[in-house]
Amino acid sequence: MYKTILCFLFVTGMATALHAQNRNAPDMPFNRSDFMYNFPKPGAGKASFFFYGLNNSARVIIDLINIKQVKYLPNLDSLVNTIKPNLRLLADSFKNDAFNRRIDYLINGSFPQIKIHNYNNEPQQFVIKEGNLNQLKTEQDTIRIKAYMEVAKEDVLNSDMRYYPSNKPEMQPYFIMIVLNNCADLFQLPENSLQACVTKLKTDLNADYIALADPKAKYNASFNMRTDKMFSPGKLKWIKNPGSVQELVPNIYAGLQYTSGTFVPSFSAGLRYTFANRQISTKRIYAMWEPHFFFSKDLLNNTVTERNDFITLRYISVERGKKEPFDFVGNVSLGYLIHKQGNWFEPNTFKVGIPGVRSGWLQLEPEFFFHGFLKGVSPSIKLTIHYE
């Protein structure tokens, strides 16, 4: 008996470990319950769509692993109708209290499973009506349904292909979240209201759009089902996360460097262009006006400020996903002195920046000043704060 138990623990543990390694997700839950009901967590998928105006304050959230799953969405009203009988007894009992709760419903073959999280430890609120003290419910309930769909191999992320070598479709999870004043309101939703959300989504994100969509990018949109309009964002092209589209915006950054025997603060203002494809790294080009401020004392010991302005072109490439405190950053810049005060620089001075290191908004890079044809080369080190 003892050997049998050990064997069972070893096999189940090995299976769990292999499954965890298979996914190798950074937010992989250690709790089996979380893995079953709450993985990925709400909003952790690559595509989330919000639908308002179904009935009173009810709203629906379709949360997908990636944008390609849109074309595989089934009839959601039929899906929800299959779970209503299992939820009816529970929902009826929930009418009698004022606690808000979340119900996780896992559709997994012939044996659906339910997890209920009652927030009954939260502070309670009451209202006095006609001399009676009545408990008041102010938060909404959430029903989160986890189901599975078949996704064709061509719509599986390339990074996951090594786990699915065959040509068979992959079973991928997707989530439907229904937010209601009370769980029992699920039975009051208008007929076909959930499928209307899917129809609206597939109409606005047509087949051509989905075919060209990037499954690694983030997609978010909100719809008002009463007006049958998408209101956030206002245009189809902005459903895609701005982190994956071209961008030309005003930009500023500040710097401090040691050059010409003194510490020199600087300020930069101009334009920043960001390339669209940022799956591996973020690449940006800057066109900036950079005034450098030098401080000295005159004969009367008064502080004198002298400004020297550069026009600078800069290219930066930052790799995604690195977690070290300081990472190497691809950086090249070329500046030319357009306004001169004092004797800090020679006329026709250039400055060149080379790759350095970066941590968040902070960037440390070497810069070299020279005039003419590489005359009077003067090295410096510059600390820049990029507001991005």
Mean pLDDT, range 199-226, rounded to an integer: 88
Instruction: Look at 42 and 71; give whichever has higher pLDDT.
Output: 71
Provide the pLDDT confidence category of residue 129 given band limits of 50, 70 and 90.
low
In order of 148, 171, 226, the CA distances from 78 in angstroms are: 14, 19, 22
374 exposed, middle or buried (CB, 10 Å; 0-12, 13-18, 19+)?
exposed
Mean pLDDT in residue range 327-335: 91
Q: How confident is the model at residue 18 (pLDDT cuts 50, 70, 90)?
A: very low
Q: Is the per-residue pLDDT at 2 higher than 50?
A: no
For the segment 157-175, the average pLDDT, to the nearest whole number, is 67
Q: How far apart are CA 297 and CA 304, in angstroms?
A: 6
Q: What is the pLDDT of residue 324?
A: 62
Determine the pLDDT at residue 89. 73
Which pLDDT score is estimated for 6? 36
**This model's pTM is above 0.85:** no
User: Rounded distance, CA 88 to CA 72, Å?
Assistant: 28
Q: Which CATH number fits domain 247-386: 1.10.3470, 3.10.450, 2.40.160, 2.30.30?
A: 2.40.160
Q: What are the counts of helices (DSSP H) followed by strands (DSSP E) for the chain?
A: 5, 19
Instruction: Please tell me the least confidently modeled range out of 112-116, 130-134, 144-148.
Output: 130-134
Q: Please list the residues that pair with 350 across neighbouring strands.
A: 336, 370
**pLDDT at 15 exceeding the cut of 60:** no
Bridge partners (DSSP) listed for residue 52: 59, 224
| Over residues 168-188, mean pLDDT | 86
Residue spans per domain, the chain: 28-244, 247-386
